[in-house]
Structure 1
């Protein structure tokens, strides 16, 4: 699991910001408090990264799109069900606006991106207390306040930011939910995830605490982030789980192999994919020459983002580009369309602080992959070896694999 010392208040939007030198403890390699907060942010959702545009330019580019973007009058955003919770077929991961993929974005810019996403049909917005920490919830709350009743807000608990560690004890959950409600400017959290499974607290106690919050109306639905299939089943007995969030993309297939997708299908639980464009890699805009600032970007410490592995994984990008050319799309749109085609209860949450990237992500709803396309993608991908782990060894210690 994640040690709070692994999550740093690095940036205002995404979970991948600060990776400092870890120190040792008798039981495991721990992370500094700065790393703790940064890594915590990473746990939720990732987005396509890129340069920011000015507000006026962003508006122009949203309304004057290329053939690869989302144009006014094109396909309408559909909805999907996460359990009994109805959301837009594509959500918005808000983390990166505030942290972990670089310095925080300008606040007004972040609000504009979130509100534009809603204008384009997005109703599902994802944040967490550790993103910032705290600042991303505040940003999301302010941005969504004018139309709060028309959107679904997901947030997360599970870290004790002051004590630098995991904490899913019921009394702590009931404390931090009040703080998140204030930051989000709302009287309920639509979907409340345990951010990381706490090995010191039985999942049944966690589910019981959320059940009480649901009875009080402060939380509407229960979620788990990065749990094992076994943990999902145990929690679901006490309080029905609405959604599971974990990293899943064309490049990272762990949920297909560890039983998590199978458990979701059997139990009627929705699946929310964070990192749906490979933490930006599957956009095709990152290569071996790309530099990641270790002070502001968590990816700088990930094996998959080393110059060697960025180069070695290029065949994945080449494959996506081949399909993108056929579909008059972008690599990011192909990987998002691939996710949407896997199951009708999977919802990707790409994130961005950039209007061009927002437009690119939302343009996915105009892309249709045929059964033949999907078979070809799978056949070609099966011949490619993916190099490097999805997170570093320390962060993977906080992923529930029991």
Structure 2
């Protein structure tokens, strides 16, 4: 297994997207902690969270506190895990999402995340989404301030277009290490941003990477599925059947084969799905198999 790099940090090629552990339909806390521990046991060293990953009003930071408690129970594991959190979005508790990219909000949000995570510095702090009401340079400038103040070791941006990535790179320089955009078999619209990450040497962290591939066989029918119903017979399913593995594992292996800068962060709400996702790092698809799966969009 070849590890991937986010900034100067080597990580397991597949991370854990922790959002399902705190939003609608979430498991009980002990079961959620078991998912995090299963990820650690499988070798996962990147955990993606956010201050807005919660369900009810008044529980902002639920996911960050959960991750902190799970890591605290494992002692030394914390030192080998890159915890990536995000600021700039909110959830009023009615199922909706808000966005707030004001520098003063991001500075305050970072301080609150530091307290919830129980750390003096955040390994990777990401701007969750561009705020159309705030100049992009001002929002990214807040990340620059946090880097300069030593509050965060590295910065990332999420849901950003190519022009925004270039502007953030100009402002942050080597402090910008990652871009987290949606990318999956069902949605490859971020192909230009993936190519730009290759050009700039940034890690590309696909969120919802299993879109278009049903996860019900591993996570159960109650698991969150932001991509909606998925067909049960796709090229991924056919390759998986021939290999004797899951289509989800094939999907993640396909993503890893697209580019060495890709580090997918599939969500999970059961230990079985975490273990299956992590095992994708050891699944090397043959050229004939890759020919059956979607190719890179021509430049």
TM-score (norm 1): 0.65
Question: What secondary structure does 1:224 align onto?
Answer: strand
For CA contacts below 8 A with separation 6 or more, give which structure has more relative contact order.
Answer: 1
Please point out which of 172, 178, 191 is paired with 2:124. 191
Structure 2: distance between partners of 1:149 and 1:192? 17
What stretches of structure 1 of length at least 5 have no aligned partner? 1-76, 383-402
1:278 and 1:181 mapped to 2: Cα distance? 31
TM-superposed deviation, 1:282: 3.4
Mapping of residues 3-402 of structure 1, within 5 Å: 78-100=2-24, 102=25, 104-132=26-54, 133-145=60-72, 146=75, 147-159=77-89, 165-240=98-173, 241-256=176-191, 259-278=192-211, 281-283=213-215, 285=217, 299=226, 305=228, 310=229, 314=231, 317-378=233-294
- Gaps (5+ residues) in structure 2? 55-59
- CA distance change for structure 1 residues 78 and 116 in 2, over 3 Å: closer, same or farther? farther
**Matched residues in 1 for 2:128 and 2:36: separation?**
22
Matched residues in 2 for 1:251 and 1:204: separation? 31
Superposed structure 1 runs of 4+ greater than 3 Å apart: 160-165, 281-286, 296-299
Q: Aligned partners of 2:142, 2:288: CA distance in 1, in Å?
A: 46
Following superposition, the deviation at residue 267 of structure 1 comes to 1.1
Secondary structure (helix, strand or coil) at the match of 1:90 reads coil
Greater radius of gyration (CA): 1
Counterparts of 1:291 and 1:126 in 2: how far apart (Å)? Answer: 23
Distance in 2 (alpha carbons) for counterparts of 1:165 and 1:358: 29
Q: Distance in 1 between matches of 2:90 and 2:208?
A: 24
TM-score (norm 2): 0.86
Corresponding residue of 1:386: none
Counterpart contact for 1:142–1:185, Cα < 8 Å: no
- Give the number of aligned pairs: 283
CA contact (8 A) 1:337 1:368 kept: yes
